[in-house]
Structure 1
Amino acid sequence: MANKLSACTSILIGKDASIDGTIMIGRNEDAKAAWPKHMVVHQHGEMPTHFVSKETKLELDLPADSARYTATPEWTDKAGVFEEDGINEYDVAMSATESAYSNSLVLGYDPLVEHGLNEEAMITVVLPYIKSAREGVQRLGNLIAKYGTGETNGVLFADNDEAWYFETGAGHYWVAQRIPDDSYAVVANQLAIQEIDFTDSDNFMFHPGIQKFVEKHDLNPDPTTFNFRKIFGTADQSDAVYSEPRVWIGHQMFSPKQAGDETPESTELPFLMKPDRKLSIFDAQQYLSNHYEGTEFDPIGTGKSGHKYRPISLAKTQESHILQMNRPGANIHWLAMGVAAESTYVPFFNGITDVPAPYKRGKLPAQLNSAYWIFKHASVLVDSHLHDFLPLLRDVQKERNSAAIKMIAETDQAVKTMRGESRDSYLTMQSNGYAIDTLNAYKKLALELITKMTDYCELNFKTDENL
């Protein structure tokens, strides 16, 4: 059914688990190694009042008043828009989706819906119409309960107060859990939510008929509790190789004191964890850029198990994003085009009215006036002589990261006294200036790499320079 499945990895961080009190939700969009993404800003009132999905043919009437929001659509809408992530003008963030799998038993009673609401359309029909994360959970849940979905997915929501993780478990049934302020979660292509407390409306939301559905069809293997993952999800050998190691490495990074007995193939890894230390934006970026470095499982390392497990950052990452909320200045949509480990997260402030032209273009075949392809160009050049060139890339990444923090601090200070259009214009100028500077840094890196590569040709010989 689906033209594309985003085999992604996600992270959610509560405000008391972060070093600066911010809330972060982030995800790698993994589908194709060469499939350009754009970044856009939809203006207030821009969206049509009737939506037709190019993928599933679902038709929806939409509210007349749509909010401004950022998004990262595909380079072509032939199979749908796949806007994937963004922040709207009411400071609500959404990322969709984390693809997962439901088991055959539940799908036998509530099959996936061919003409339902899928990943392709979720951002487009939800984010412009919500004013809180809870409202986003409820709107998406209502739409899936009514129209169904053709995929099993996880969806991330956040605002300036809380973060939520939403999961579908069959054609129509769903649950959502609030991430505790002092905790984080990492998710990797499995249904993740565990025990549901149906009496705790502060921390759980759900399809109103899910308990009766499970009871009617005898779906719960342990009736003493209601474990969504065990009732609706899968637990097979493919999970042990594909999904669980990515959760394991997150726990090793952030909670090693608690995760000492966990292994890459542990099947009972908890959904929620408290970090051993406060987490920064760079911790979130490093998780989404991780490929098991420092372990025997690193595919670009020297260990014998380098391709045993599916890494978090890989060639098929189209873009990686972190939506940082509850900030003292403007909230930030961080975006890394291409492979996160070989790219740089560019901060776009919420409130910008436009993005630089290179971020709005890019198609197949490659074109070097596109942000996506500029980052990918440097990336593939580094790959050609990885151990020689990786230090040069790391130098650029470090410089750009420091420049980002400096620029953000200056911007936060400046916008304290700004309002309205002047504030939006300043945020746009600051974001776009950094974005262009970063593209220029990667263009310069690419030229340096090409220059160094000229002497790597196999048609080489130690020549006599006197001749």
Structure 2
Amino acid sequence: METKVGRSSCTSILIGKKASLSGSVMIGRNEDAKTAWPKHLAFNKHEIIQENHFKSKDNKFEINLPNEKFAYSSTPEWTDKYGVFEEDGINEHHVAMSATESAYANDRVQAADPFDTEKGILEEAMVTVVLPYIKTAREGVARLGDIVEKYGAAEADGILFADSNEAWYMEIGSGHHWVAERIPDDSYAVVANQLAIQEIDFDSDNFMYSKGIRDFVYNNKLWPENIPFNFREIFGTHDDSDLHYNTPRVWIGQKLLTPSVVQNPQSFDLPFTRKPDHPLSAQDAQSVLSNHYQNTPYDLTNQKNKDNATFRPISVATTQESHLLELNGEKMIHWLAMGVASQSVYIPFYPQGTKVPTMYKYGKETYSQNSAYWVFKLASTLVDRDWSKYGTDLANAQSEANQKVNRIRYEFDQKLAKETDDKQRINLVNEANNKMAKTALDIFRELNAKLITKQTADSPLRFQMDPNL
């Protein structure tokens, strides 16, 4: 029976341009909801739509939209029965958006300004009603902020925006109030299902916020006026579950990228942004999104820990897809790993493509062989039978696929740099996307065949006394 997806329990990363190895701005997130709930890749065309209107299938939220709709990439659900859930993408104006990082607001705030679950905007609608209509990251924050103030929000969320110059993290903390912070160019942020933004400087261009948020807080006695305005403390939670579910993920992300700083995985005082110890590559960001506490006592793939789960990992079985959106001048990369990030491969798709690789258009709730999601998910399922036994096969396949698809992307970048004809450039982009997808899928289909063949010997019905019987 089909069931509603609900909210995503995700992990996010944002990286400023001076903190990155290539000068790119990067934002990324694991979309975590269900263990078997396929995603597709989509390239949405530029359109002029008269009487453009959106009506949610998840609740009663609806909104009139601008007539002009920019082209953009996205990763919608296999079904729109419960909403679109496009989740992430890059539009033709080189603006990236990822929505959402589910969060929780405390009871004090919700008593004064409750979420409108009936008519407020939900995660499923955010990318659809914002990304096709913005030209900068700041515009994205402003557009979504205006929607929240006018229509209300149905839930607490974190939303990521980026363009080639800036990365922004926006948080919705109540029915009509929100803040956003520009990630410092020399820093990064890792966020895990908590309201994370801390002190707000109302006089700085590096912050945006809802109208009247200070009056709302002070009039409702939610915070003293004589100390700095700390959004996390005012709107967020400090539950015991945070110490096992959320803060350890921030801790491991910061441990990977800033190992020089020693911190407690259960600290409520981990900073929102940090400077890395070295310039960060896309692969560094992907290593955070695919982390499961390997090389620590908390790794659930270690047989000793499988029945003693201490902390919730970043990479989990409920990940539907993991994305990293990279922007650098004219260069755009929509990195996409279908299924569980630690058991999949990030493919550096060109988001300006017009033809989706065939197997990225298919896949329903029940397993099928024609779906990219299910090819990678099958590998996860087979490796999970005994990670210690089959993990090396997986790692070898990942290494081969990573090397080959990144080489393909590099070669096509060189071709595109020399090509001036717009039509031919799109042809090259579509050819590259198809070739990268096919290369990775072929390697993982071969991996799956190898694992199935090997696992025929794992049957409990083994009994051998005479080799001929």
- Normalising by structure 2, report the TM-score: 0.96
2:10–2:102 CA contact under 8 A, matched in 1: yes
Q: Is the 8 A contact 1:300 1:306 kept in 2?
A: no
Is the 1:330–1:350 Cα contact (8 Å) retained in structure 2? no
Equivalents in 1 of 2:379, 2:72: separation in Å?
29
1:214 and 2:200 aligned: no
CA distance in 1 between partners of 2:424 and 2:377 (Å) = 34
Q: Which residue of 2 aligns with 1:443?
A: 445
Q: Paired residue for 2:259?
A: 256
Quote how far apart the aligned CAs of 1:58 are: 1.3
Unpaired runs of 5+ in structure 2? none
Query: Match for 2:112 among 96, 109, 114?
Result: 109
Match of 2:150 in 1: 146
Quote the Cα distance in structure 1 between the aligned partners of 2:414 and 2:465: 59
Equivalent position amino acid for 1:450 in 2: I
Following superposition, the deviation at residue 303 of structure 1 comes to 5.0
1:288 matches 2:289: yes
CA displacement 1:257-300 (0-9 Å, x = unmatched): 12x1x111001110010001111111111101101111111111
Whether 2:243 is the aligned partner of 1:240: answer yes
What is the match of residue 416 of structure 1?
417
Residue 251 (structure 1) shift: 1.1
Partner of 1:359: 360
**Structure 1 residue 250 displacement after superposition:** 0.8
Q: Is the 8 A contact 1:182 1:274 kept in 2?
A: yes
Which of 24, 33, 41 is residue 39 of structure 1 equivalent to?
41
CA distance in 2, matches of 1:369, 1:300: 29
CA distance in 2, matches of 1:298, 1:442: 24
1:221–1:231: 8 Å Cα contact kept in structure 2?
no
Within the alignment, does 1:265 sit opposite 2:269 as a pair?
no
Look up the SS of the partner of 1:25 in the other structure: strand
1:156 is aligned with what amino acid? L
Does the Cα contact within 8 Å between 1:12 and 1:179 map onto a contact in 2? Answer: yes
The 3-state SS of whatever aligns with 2:69 is coil
Q: Distance in 1 between matches of 2:365 and 2:227?
A: 54
Name 1:15's counterpart in structure 2.
17
What stretches of structure 1 move > 4 A for 4+ residues in a row? Answer: 302-306
Q: Write out per-residue CA displacement over residues 338-374 of structure 1, whole angstroms, 9 at most, x where no aligned residue.
A: 1111111111112111211211111121111011111
Matched, 1:96 2:91: no
Secondary structure, counterpart of 1:454 in structure 2: helix
Using the TM superposition, give the Cα deviation of residue 56 of structure 1 relative to its aligned residue in structure 2, in angstroms. 1.5
Distance in 2 (CA, whole Å) between partners of 1:466 and 1:127 is 66
**Partner residue of 1:425?**
427
Distance in 2 between residues matched to 1:294 and 1:303, nearest whole Å: 13
- 2:202 aligned with 1:198, yes or no? yes
| Partner amino acid, structure 2, of 1:129 | Y
- Number of corresponding residues: 462
CA distance in structure 2 between the aligned counterparts of 1:361 and 1:188, rounded to whole angstroms: 30
Q: In the TM superposition, what is the alpha-carbon distance from 1:462 to its structure 2 partner?
A: 2.7
Paired residues of 2:5 and 2:33 also in contact (CA < 8 A):
no
Q: 1:381 offset after TM fit, Å?
A: 0.8
Distance 1:70 1:154 in 2: 20
Q: 2:169 aligns with which of 165, 186, 191?
A: 165
Query: 1:100, CA displacement in angstroms?
Result: 0.3
Following superposition, the deviation at residue 404 of structure 1 comes to 2.6
Contact preservation (8 Å) 2:7, 2:33: yes
Partner of 2:135: 131
The change in CA–CA distance for 1:46 and 1:291 in structure 2 (over 3 A counts) is farther
Rounded Cα–Cα distance in structure 2 between residues aligned with 1:225 and 1:178: 18
1:386 CA displacement: 1.6
Structure-2 separation of matches of 1:248 and 1:465: 53
Alignment CA distance shift 1:369-1:226 (3 Å): same
CA contact (8 A) 1:255 1:274 kept: yes
Give, in angstroms, the shift of residue 393 of structure 1.
0.6
Deviation at 1:432, TM superposition (A): 1.4
Residues 98-146 of structure 1 deviation map (CA, whole Å, 9 limit, x = unaligned):
0000011011110001211110100000000000100000000000010
User: Quick one: structure 1 residues 240 and 350, their matched pair in 2 at CA, closer, same or farther if it must change by over 3 Å?
Assistant: same
Q: Which residue identity does 1:321 align to in structure 2? A: H
What is the CA distance between 1:3 and its match in structure 2? Answer: 5.1
Pick the aligned partner of 1:72 from 64, 71, 75.
75
Contact in 2 for aligned 1:12/1:186 (Cα 8 Å): yes
Tell which deviates more after alignment, 304-313 or 129-138: 304-313
Moved more, 43-52 or 174-183: 43-52
Note the 1:51-62 alignment, pairs <5 A: 51-62=54-65
Determine the structure 1 residue equivalent to 2:312. 310
Identity of aligned pairs, percent?
A: 53
Instruction: Answer with 184-193 or 454-463: which moved more.
Output: 454-463
Equivalents in 2 of 1:105, 1:57: separation in Å? 26
Alpha-carbon distance between aligned partners in 2 of 1:466 and 1:273, rounded to the nearest angstrom: 64
The aligned amino acid for 2:82 is A
Q: 1:412: Cα distance to partner?
A: 1.9
Q: Contact conserved, 1:55 with 1:80, CA < 8 A, in 2?
A: yes
Hey, what's the Cα distance between the residues in 1 that align with 2:169 and 2:38?
27
Quickly say closer, same or farther: Cα 1:222–1:315, change in 2 above 3 A.
farther
C-alpha contact 1:248 1:263 (8 A) present in aligned 2: yes
Helix, strand or coil at the partner of 1:55 = coil
- Please give the secondary structure, in 1, of the residue aligned with 2:457: coil
2-structure distance, mates of 1:44, 1:427: 17
RMSD over equivalenced CA pairs, Å: 1.5
- Are residues 1:374 and 2:375 paired? yes
Contact 1:98 1:188 survives alignment (8 Å): yes
Distance 1:273 1:49 in 2: 41
Structure 1: gaps of 5 or more residues: none
Given the alignment of the two structures, is residue 229 of structure 1 paired with residue 237 of structure 2, yes or no? no
